[in-house]
Amino acid sequence: MTTIDTSRPEQLAHDAPEPIDAPAITPALSVAGISHCYGRRQALSDVSFNVAPASFTALLGLNGAGKSTLIALITRLFGIQTGRISVFGHDISDAPSDALRLLGVVFQPRTLDLDLSVMQNLLYHAALQGIARREARLRGEEVIARIGLADRVNSRVRDLSGGQMRRLEIARALLHRPRLLLLDEATVGLDVQARADILAHVRMLVAEQGIGVLWATHLFDEITASDDLVVLHHGHVLARGSVTQILKETGAPNFDMAFRGMTEAADRRGRSS
Amino acid sequence: MSTTFLTDEHRKLGFGNYVTCLNGILWREALRFLHQRERFVSALVRPLVWLFIFAAGFRQVLGISIIPPYETYILYEVYIAPGLIAMIQLFNGMQSSLSMVYDREMGNMRTLLVSPLPRWFLLICKLLAGTVVSLLQVYAFLLIAWFWDIAPPLIGYLTVLPALILSGLMLGSLGMLISSRIKQLENFAGVMNFVIFPMFFASSALYPLWRVQEGSPMLYYLCLFNPFTHAVELIRFALYDKVNWVSLAVVAGCTAVFTIGAIIAYDPGRGFARRAPAGGET
């Protein structure tokens, strides 16, 4: 179901989170009424949406929209001030261990240890997930082969290209076999081919392994018509639903224009209030 | 709630998972230590400069009378050796915190903090790993010091181990607590100057407290309430197979307070969590 309100975004503050996909299934991710402040600055305001299992949901917003703050809240790097977040029904505040075990994350900044080798980075991550060494090595070899780095197993990470590092981060995020994958601006700084490869790889994970994906981005060309979408602007959700539905309801000829229309209307309201 | 998507992979974490995590963090710290050989060398050079140059120069100026745990007159070098051991641990504790600030700035810290294991456990693993690294440095120093005629009884090399672990944990947890409040790497240099040097000089590391009392009663009380003084005394007594119970109590108490403080400070709902993401991300 699509929810768009270009005239009264504050109405969203009172909406219950609506599942984008089948409501009978426990959402992979449920974000309900999340607000967050840094001092007096409001970074997120009553953000609510769901991500269905085995779906690709794009979290679209310009720089400063609040995407990274939201990712930090979902991954419990920040404490939740208002609202609730749950992963497959496990509340991130009340049952963080259960929720985090189902979660794989690729953060916007690189989080690999540059002085460790490809395999050592994977083994360290596996240890943090409590995966025994022998099993970790087996899984590590498997994912390294899958991302095409089998010949670089013992290379130091600092010797890899940007695209290889990103693929390694995605492989690392999948090592503990999560059911939900969060990627925060995962293609920033990569060339066109590397971006396309990574996006195709993540979409393949959704299709073949049934992983739910939340893909935070500010790049329109990473979104396809069949994706679910959450549009975030200055900490408010302006729209959520499928791209097709959003286009239909806004009446815009393409998504670029629909996004501009929504954000400019929101900015005008912000200035006038 | 339906959990039909979940498999055996997602069962509750058990004791074995905790041990695996601890091993992993120890292994990673050891690798990092091996990659930073200059860190090992500088950790040794610092106390050795004090021992070979400072102590040799001051030997004639600062005579040490018979004070516990020593049973005879001792050379000044022998007196300051426990203080220099504690200095190694103090610098190592601060170095570990520096690496935590660096990891946080570079983003590596997130890998640790999104682990499903409890955050208090992860922080304690980091503390233990830092302490193990400091033990390697201390025993290397003791080996070199032995050639300089600083030779405590053989049993002392063993009995000092628990004292070193406890003092290493105390100084590491203090560093961790401080690191939680540091927003940028550059600020840490100032903290080093405001923490390391005052702690080291206002202690019994370089001169016995009774001498300090003669010179300045106020400084004496400052030294007496300095936890670093008690880390030095705990190590000094343990090296001679003795226990300084007051120092043991102070070091154990401070370790508990600093560790709990660091755990609270790194709690997502409190200290660590309050700041906006770095690099303009929001």
- For the ranges A18-22, B19-23, B97-101, B207-211, the lowest mean pLDDT is seen at A18-22
Instruction: Give the residue from chain B lying closest to A114, CA to CA.
Output: B108
Question: In which band, very low, low, confident or very high, does the pLDDT at A53 lie, cut at 50, 70 and 90?
Answer: very high
Q: What are phi and psi of A82, to 5 degrees?
A: -140, 140
Task: Determine whether the interchain pair A126/B24 forms a contact, defined as Cβ–Cβ distance below 8 Å.
Answer: yes
Nearest by CB to B3, from A38, A89, A123: name it. A89
Quick check: helix, strand or coil at residue A29? strand
| Burial of B69 from C-beta contacts in 10 A (0-12 / 13-18 / 19+) | middle
- CATH assignment of A3-102+179-272? 3.40.50.300
Determine what percent of chain A falls in helix, strand and coil, rounding each to the nearest 5.
40, 25, 35
Work out whether strand A180-184 and strand A212-217 pair parallel, antiparallel, or are unpaired.
Answer: parallel
Calculated CA dihedral for residues B4, B6, B12, B15, nearest 10 degrees: 150
Q: Residue range B5-17: average pLDDT?
A: 67
Tokens of B235: 């190590």
- For the ranges A118-122, B56-60, B135-139, the lowest mean pLDDT is seen at B56-60
CA distance A250 to chain B (A): 27
What is the predicted pLDDT for the residue at A15? Answer: 41
B12, B270, B281: best to mutate for the A interface, most A CBs within 10 A:
B281
Q: Does B278 map to a domain? A: no
Q: Does B3 map to a domain? A: no
Say what percent of chain A tops pLDDT 90. Answer: 44
Q: Residue range A123-132: average pLDDT?
A: 92
- For the ranges A217-221, B105-109, B110-114, B166-170, the lowest mean pLDDT is seen at B105-109
Q: Does B1 map to a domain? A: no
Please count the structural domains in chain B: 1
- For the ranges A44-48, A86-90, B26-30, B62-66, the lowest mean pLDDT is seen at B62-66
Q: Does B280 map to a domain? A: no
pLDDT, tens digit, 9 for 90 and up, residues A31-42: 999 999 988 889
What is the predicted pLDDT for the residue at A84? Answer: 95
Q: Does B279 map to a domain? A: no
CA distance B194 to chain A (A): 28
CB B246 within 8 A of CB B97: no
pLDDT, tens digit, 9 for 90 and up, residues A243-268: 888 888 888 888 888 888 888 888 88
- Looking at residue A225, its amino acid is A
CA atoms within 13 A on the CB side of A168: 31
Per-chain mean pLDDT for chain B: 83
pLDDT, tens digit, 9 for 90 and up, residues B60-89: 666 666 777 777 777 888 889 999 999 999
Q: Does B51 map to a domain? A: yes
Triad A38, A69, A199: Cα angle to 5°: 160
Cα–Cα distance between B94 and B97 in angstroms, integer? 5
Q: Where are the domains of chain A?
A: 3-102+179-272, 112-177
CB B107 within 8 A of CB B100: no
Tokens of B82: 């426990």
What is the predicted pLDDT for the residue at B209? Answer: 83
Quick check: helix, strand or coil at residue A154? coil
CA distance A251 to chain B (A): 30
Cα–Cα distance between A269 and A271 in angstroms, integer? 5
Question: In which band, very low, low, confident or very high, does the pLDDT at B1 lie, cut at 50, 70 and 90?
Answer: very low
Enter the pTM of the model.
0.81
Boundaries of domain holding B83: 14-272
